[in-house]
Amino acid sequence: MAEDKPAARSGSFENLVSDYGAGGEFHQHAGEGDERLTTAQGVTIADNQNSLTSGTPGPTALEDFILREKIFHFDHERIPERVVHARGFGAHGLFECTKAIPEITRAAPFQKEGKITETFVRFSTVAGSKGSMDLARDVRGFAVKFYTDEGNWDLVGNNIPVFFIQDAIKFPDLIHSVKPEPDRGFPQAQSAHDNFWDFISLTPESMHMVMWQMSDRAIPRSFRFMEGFGVHTFRFVNAEGQSSFVKFHWKPKLGLQSVLWDEALKINGADPDRHRRDLWEAITAGDFPEWELGLQIFDEEFANRFDFDVLDPTKIIPEELVPLTIVGTLTLDRVVDNFFAETEQVAFCTQNVVPGIDFTDDPLLQGRNFSYLDTQLKRLGSPNFTKLPINAPRGCPVHNFQQDGHMQTSNRKGRVNYEPNGWGKGPRAHPLEGYVSYAVRNEGEKRRLRPESFADHYSQARQFFLSQTPVEQGHIRDALVFELSKCHEVEIRARIVAHLLNIDGALAQAVADGLGLTEMPEPAPAARPTRTDLPPSDALSMLKNPPPSFAGRTVGVLAGNGVEADLLSELRSILQAEGAMMKLVAPQVGGVTDSAGTLHPADEKLGGGPSVIFDAVAVLPGADAAMLAANPAAQDFLTDAHAHCKFIAHRGAEPLIEACALGAKMDEGWVEIGSSSDIDGFVAACLGMRHWPREATLGGNPPLARTFSP
């Protein structure tokens, strides 16, 4: 006989029964006869959108068994494989403090100008498995481990400053939606499928991140040309216990650069390890990539008057409102000795902080702090993963009473393994030097409730979009059309367009037209109306922030036998002076013989060195002009370079140009070279990275018709 169930609660629970919560998040509720969402113990869940916090906003409660069970199961849902971990690539480096800020934080790396701290950095994709390709459209992880003299500090960030979700309880759902669909096991490392966009279409808080993911930021040219962000708002605490808020930014000294989507697809075919290879080759050649660490530092007063909640991880603080303070330089100067021992076994945990750095009540950060340690235990198989050399502190001793377990290598000697003890043995706590959490007063009811200050999901998404150049806006439009065209359910496409109507009317119309929607949907319900008064921020555009030079880039030179010796030598010399590299592409890897009879071994064989892997190209066929003109790989090399808006230097390449039917399409991005001044002009043009006016002539979609209302 079934046990009697208690009566359902009565009273006012509007936030539990409405479709949208106080933060504008979408809730789906079971109807009569529907399945109830439960814990593994069969307890019905009332709210699957919000963690349990003390106050709103407030810290996540340790007693939240629903959050703990959900993330615990998510962290452990993969059967161990022979080779584990997501796709990533790491390198060793040094962080040098260039501006000491002891008055703001007591964190060790920032105490003295010129202080050096060892680091290990790991870049990664998020959605793909270890065997996926580098040039997926995806967020890139940008994690930095500082081996400070007061312990290890892990700044675990991304190349995008916001994230898809506001509360960590949604992380398993987000990742499940973007991973291969469970019944068929594909697609791999792709967000262009029904599950992902179905989830996004029902998660309004994701729309700001969607704008970033559909932008060129999600297909970077190289790790070296990529920004990094700490995403969350953290606290700095100085020696007197005074607190400031801080956001972390990594700015690449080589500038920002991405690829076109067609280019990404072809690079993945030609060299799926492109990002890995690029970083390895740069470091081993002594061309060490550098980033400046910029801080947005602000106080409680600014946080309270800012238009958005600084604890909302789907929001940014524009640099125009809080300019960056540059405090140091990160230089990657050493590749790993062993990929498995270092890159695969490195363990980053957001909870790894040092005195002077503290957390805020950002609910996504609170959940990450819980999750990461559990993940490392699952992945590395033992709580002693901190003993692995790549994870062990280097700048300070380690003393504690932790013992035994798999991989234990340093149990203490003697009888004492506890504290306090009367034997006068072992380490003791130090209240003056030890880590002390910043004292924050928390008040409020213990409830599952999203802060109302998190409810505006469209205003900053609009600000980001309007901050882009027309070229970048066109790429966002094209990315949305491409991704949504891979969704088989028309309803999902329409729901996304409904969200876009709250961001920009012209964008929504262009995407609807690109998808062939027969009728425009109504705008999605918005918990807060979209603000149209937020000014564009130039810092959000890549093209408005061009690189300072052509340094770190590579020009691919398609050459044939009889290439002019002086011209080839001069091109190489001028590129080297600029800090760039020249790579020779030839029909045979054995190389070509120049007009002076000198053999030049090829860096790439034609067909294995397509133009997509270079930043600009030169075509110098010499006496082999007719032969190259008839070579399909040479035709692809040139037509792709043109289609991808690259700058093209040429000399004696008329047969190949005509074979590609490009004679009438040559524009200012084509530079004929015959002298040093010509080469100087070509390299100067390359500072623009692309000849963007060409895009309008390639038969693509026209620029967006601008609108200034949602």
Enumerate the active-site residues: 85, 158
CA distance 479 to 214: 5
Dist CA 573 CA 698 (whole Å): 33
Cα 406 from Cα 385, distance rounded (Å): 9
Task: Please name every residue paired with 670 in a beta bridge, in sequence order, or none if there are none.
Answer: 648
Q: Please tell me the distance from the alpha carbon of residue 451 to that of residue 87, in angstroms, as a whole number.
A: 35
Query: Is the distance from CB of 624 to CB of 602 less than 8 angstroms?
Result: no
* Strand, coil or helix: 172: helix
* Dist. CA 106–CA 239, nearest whole Å: 6
Tally of CB atoms within 10 A around 270: 17
∠ Cα 100 104 105 (to 5°) = 80
Amino acid letter at 691? H
Q: Are 611 and 584 in contact (CB under 8 A)?
A: no
CA 201 to chain centre: 21
- Largest Cα separation within the chain, whole Å, is 98
Cα–Cα distance for residue pair 156/230, rounded to 1 Å: 6
Residue 345: which residues within 8 A CB-CB, separation 6 or more? Answer: 380, 385, 388, 390, 391
Task: Residue 475: name the closest of 701, 257, 296 by CA.
Answer: 701
Strand 140-148, strand 151-158: pairing: antiparallel
Whether 107 and 357 have beta carbons less than 8 Å apart is answered as: yes
Cite the DSSP H helix spans in 90-220. Answer: 171-178, 194-201, 207-213
Which residue's structure tokens are 């959900």?
70
Q: Which residues are CB-contacts of 435 (< 8 A; sequence separation ≥ 6)?
A: 353, 354, 355
Closest CA to 171 of 142, 206, 136: 206
- Residue 671, H or E segment: strand 670-672
Q: Considering just the CA atoms, what is the radius of gyration of the chain in Å?
A: 28
Q: Measuring CA to CA, which residue among 41, 60, 63, 40 is closest to residue 50?
A: 60
Instruction: Report DSSP letters for 114-173, one per residue.
Output: T-EEEEEEEEEESSS-TTS-TT-SS-EEEEEEEEEBTEEEEEEEESSSS-S-SSGGGHHH
Amino acid letter at 242? Q
The two three-digit tokens of residue 423, written as one number: 């034997």
